[in-house]
Structure 1
Amino acid sequence: MHAMTRTVVVTDSTACLAPGVAEARGITVIPLQVVIGAHVYDEGTEGASPEAVAAALKAFTPVSTSRPNPAAVLEVYRELAEAGAEQIVSVHLSADMSGTYESCQLAARQAPVPVTTVDSRQVGAATGYAALAAQDVVDAGGDAEAAAAAARARSAASRSLFYVDTLEYLRRGGRIGAAAAVLGGALSVKPLLEIRDGRVASLEKVRTANRALARLEDLLVQAAGSTPVDICIAHLANPSRAEALTTRLTERLADNLEGREVHCTEVGAVLGAHVGPGMLAGVLAPRL
């Protein structure tokens, strides 16, 4: 009997996979880097924490982020091949928001085994859910092509909505995209944003933070419809509001969740650096 092709799913540290989930599912996570002041850290529990980033932003310490370079990605692909991987599916955050996907494409050309790269056109947990969809296919015996297709389908069907206290951090990082229109002298307005076509886009303008959060909740419920979904609530330095939103959605979307928990987490250091303290996001991923 020919052994089943061993396919390994790879993603990056912006995918917000819960601690232990990546390990338990056999997903390899490539870290992005965060530069705080003069120091470079890998994103993650061992390196740059969301708390460190929030504190630095509040203290006006320069914070920037950088993609993993192609050589570092190639090293990961090589190690996986040496450990027995025969195919790799590499699922990453939107190429319009980061050079990570490009690094993976460049590394894939030199990798010792075939690598299928997937631009999720998403950021944060929506990328993580796409990687998990790929892993589900692999676990069921599917090949790299089928796994990549599942990741693309799930990320395309996902909604990422978020509220920021201020557009200042997105503007500083040059990540504001189509949402720049909101800036027209309206910095007092609380913007609701979404990821649309791989970029940050303006969704609605609301007057107060409370109103924004109520609207975020309603929009997520609306987006869920009657479909089974996974939901992640992510925040930066805004735990009480994140927990309140988690509780409300757990009640309102009980049927859609089918007994699964709403995952509530602090957003990683890289995304945190671009959205700033106070950010609250809701990611809704249909279970296809």
Structure 2
Amino acid sequence: MNKIAIVTDSTAYLPTDTIHKFGITVVPLMVNFGQESHKEGVDITADQFFARLASEKSLPTTSQPSVGEMVQAYERLLQTHESIIGIFISSNLSGTAHSAETAARMVEGDISVIDSKITASGQARLVLAACEMIEQGLDKEAIAAKLNAMVESIKAYFIVDSLDHLHRGGRISGVSALIGSLLQVKPILHVQDGKLELLEKVRTRKKSLARITELVKTAQDPNKHLTLTIVYTDNPSDAAEVAEQAKANFPGASISTAQIGPVIGTHVGPGLIGFIYDQQ
């Protein structure tokens, strides 16, 4: 019997080869166009989603996995593993972690649930760290403790192309959305205590990118290694260009790009560029 299984949800946006390599179980969230529901990463890809989003008049909605789906995943894994570590999207962004915790109390087994307080590549970073620690032979308690410490070190800044999706999703007030549209503001968002919040309003995209670069530079510890992921929605060429700029701005850092998929894309809309980083 294997010792520790890793479970996460689809908003980590892990590459398929990574999922297979480490045997990660991914429980999908749902994106809903009217009465039509799709499992993220199973029934609909990111590219398919953003292509459809461009032609839809109504904003899609999202929904979390049910407690029953979590129970099924746990029970299946406990047949072949001694324990489970679940790493999920911030509980302030989705109810997924709450479903995972409820399911854990319903199943007889050794299960630890980690609230990542982040999503996308920040969540993926925790999942990969857990897999690496399993390979190193650490026990579940040691891994969970290290993951909870890492949670506090992962930071994120996002630039959204439009305030419209945030407004329609109830994230900001109508007045703020109107002012943003009139002044062509490119808002900078950040994740604070697991919540997506407005940090600053900057007039142009170029200035917004310069500002988040400055924020990361200010926070950078020369004695630690910086791991930075440029996340994007439907704009891979923009992300590649920003990544090249980041390599010049952060020499020695580990820099990559990663696409954000349907569930998070529903709330932030097309054209997003973000920096998700941590230092170890």
After TM superposition, the score normalised by the length of structure 2 is 0.91
Q: CA separation in 2, counterparts of 1:47 and 1:237? A: 18
Report the number of matched residues.
275
Q: CA deviation at 1:186?
A: 2.5
Contact kept? 1:33, 1:41, Cα under 8 Å? yes
Contact kept? 1:36, 1:56, Cα under 8 Å? no
Q: CA separation in 2, counterparts of 1:152 and 1:17? A: 20
Contact kept? 2:29, 2:64, Cα under 8 Å? yes
Distance 1:184 1:68, change over 3 A: closer
Q: CA deviation at 1:286?
A: 1.9
Ranges in structure 1 where 5+ consecutive residues have no aligned partner: none
Which residue does 1:36 correspond to in 2? 33
Q: CA deviation at 1:41?
A: 0.9
User: Structure 1 vs Structure 2: percent identity of aligned residues?
Assistant: 31
Which of residues 11, 15, 22 is equivalent to 2:12? 15
Which of residues 210, 234, 240 is equivalent to 1:243? 240
Which of residues 229, 233, 238 is equivalent to 2:230? 233
Q: Deviations over 1:48-71 (max 9, x none)?
A: 222233233322244111100010
Q: CA separation in 2, counterparts of 1:182 and 1:279? A: 21
Equivalent residues in 2 for 1:167-182, closer than 5 Å: 167-174=163-170, 176=171
Q: CA separation in 2, counterparts of 1:180 and 1:200? A: 14
Which residue does 2:150 correspond to in 1? 154
Q: CA deviation at 1:19?
A: 2.9
Contact kept? 1:228, 1:256, Cα under 8 Å? yes
Ranges in structure 2 where 5+ consecutive residues have no aligned partner: none
1:284 aligns with 2:280: no
Which residue does 1:94 correspond to in 2? 90
Which residue does 2:73 correspond to in 1? 76
Which stretch of the first structure deviates more once superposed, 97-106 or 18-27? Answer: 18-27
2:15 counterpart SS class: coil
Q: CA separation in 2, counterparts of 1:28 and 1:251? A: 36
Which residue does 1:263 correspond to in 2? 256
After TM superposition, the score normalised by the length of structure 1 is 0.88
Q: CA deviation at 1:170?
A: 2.0
Letter in 1 for 2:31: V
Letter in 2 for 1:127: Q
Q: CA separation in 1, counterparts of 2:175 and 2:210? A: 20
Q: CA deviation at 1:185?
A: 4.6
